[in-house]
Amino acid sequence: MSEITRAAIVTGGSRGIGRAVCLALAAQGMNVVVNYAGSAAAAEETAALCREKGVEAITVQADVSCEAGAEALFAAATAAFGRVDVLVNNAGITRDGLILRMSEEDFDAVLSTNLKGAFLCAKKAARLMMKQRYGRIVCISSVVGVRGNAGQANYAASKAGVIGLVKSLAKELASRGVTANAVAPGFIDTDMTRALPEAVREGILSQIPQARFGEAADVAHAVAFLSGENAGYITGQVLCVDGGMAM
């Protein structure tokens, strides 16, 4: 492990998968920037849990789907820690609906947060990481971006776009010691999946070879590995954490 204390930014880090990722990176000894859009209390709770692991953690409210928000996030991170070694693009939203009923606004909103946000943050990170000649960019995609899903044309397009973004970043940044990879979760046990009707849950489970929903920690462990010192020869890859759904 390097003697340098690494610093990580996690977008959408206040709860769910984002919180689990923050805690996994903190457990590796990284200082953490918890980005959030809405709930300051949830973000501060995540930061406090990270501090319990002996690292520094700050919270930054910023809308990463716009240039100003991404700029503010990275300015706060560099002011606090002087560097950014890891970027985890996790911020995401859904606006589900069949394509015949999907509005242009709902399509644009999902692409703006999920894909444009990842682009803007990756651009900021790349500039810093190339100078450092070290960096890890991990984007959260989805099994839906690999397989598609009825009623989620906007979400699937955004998550498939993230995969293309990662593969392009990997080729552009490899010579400077910067890796770019995607983690594609399947159906994870979250507030959203718990709220699904029982018949829908059973239908989803029937598509998962392991016959269970994943946990946020399952995704976080994969992200933490790709964000670590030992993943330096892995780039441009999509790691599906989905119980076998995408096989």
Active site residue 155: yes
- First-last CA distance in the chain: 34
Please list the alpha-helical segments (H only) found in 82-183.
104-111, 117-132, 143-147, 153-173
Cα three-residue angle 229-127-83, rounded to 5 degrees: 55
| Partner residues linked to 139 by β-bridges | 89, 182
Catalytic residue among 36, 134, 155, 233: 155
CB 53 within 8 A of CB 27: yes
Active site residues: 155
